[in-house]
Amino acid sequence: MVATPPTPPSPLTPQQRSAFIEICADAKAGFEDALDLVLIHNERDVRGNQPRRKLNPLTVLLAVAAWERFVVDVGALSRGQWSEPGRHKKENRDAYLDAALKVLGPASGEALPGAWRIRAFSRWRGKCPEGAVTLDCSDPEQMAELQRDVHAWINLRNKVAHRCMAQDLISGPYYRSDAETHTIQAGEARAALAEMLQLVDQSILAIVAASGFPKPDRFRLPAAWFQEEPPAGLRGVEEPGALWGGYSLLR
């Protein structure tokens, strides 16, 4: 018996709107976990080898996981294989942009990757990302730069998960933290989270537009997460402090 080929991804239908709302809510919950770690770090200035250094690797791990899960679940939904968030198995490279765009390109009516405008950071000092640049992904060279960034964050996530950061921490985008051990600088972790947040939020907007769903804000990540100075009370924190080193992110 010849196996039936899988249905290719496509823009979502009106009947899939509620399932896409579930996917977006799950992405929000995943990013909340990472954002909470940033807010915990903001509670006090920290240096050296002490417990809060553990927050940085976990921030990267959770940020990449939220992005990866979003891509996997959108792929399942757009192929008509939907069950519920988190139930669908990923392929080996789902989070990498070349593979992710095989899902997000068709689901967005091919608006992606050209519609992505991502604020990226080329360096960091302490907990503050620095060297902000805007990557316009309609430009092939800037898209290639974003691909390199995302590839690096995924590789770093994998090394966190397998406890092997020491293998190449001194190469590529990895830098030794002031914690005096193999870990990740807080500003680097925030740079990774910032890129993942923007990728998901802008992908949501492009998919909603291609599918003709009304009220796009119903689907998107909270605007407060992207602000230069988030409002008091964010995630229940009275004084959350700057999340992105005084920069805002793009939506």
pLDDT tens track for 79-135: 999 999 888 888 768 899 999 999 999 999 999 999 999 999 999 888 899 999 999
DSSP 32-65: HHHHHHHHHHHTS---SSSGGGGHHHHHHHHHHH
Segment 209-216 mean pLDDT: 96
Instruction: Dump pLDDT digits (tens) for 132-169.
Output: 999 999 999 999 999 999 999 999 998 888 777 766 55
What percent of the chain lies above the pLDDT cut of 90? 67
- Which is nearest to 11 in space by CA: 78, 74, 71? 78
Query: In whole angstroms, how far apart are CA 187 and each of 37, 60, 111?
Result: 13, 11, 31
Instruction: Dump pLDDT digits (tens) for 166-195.
Output: 665 545 444 444 445 556 888 999 999 999
Asked if residues 237 and 39 have their Cβ atoms less than 8 Å apart, the reply is yes
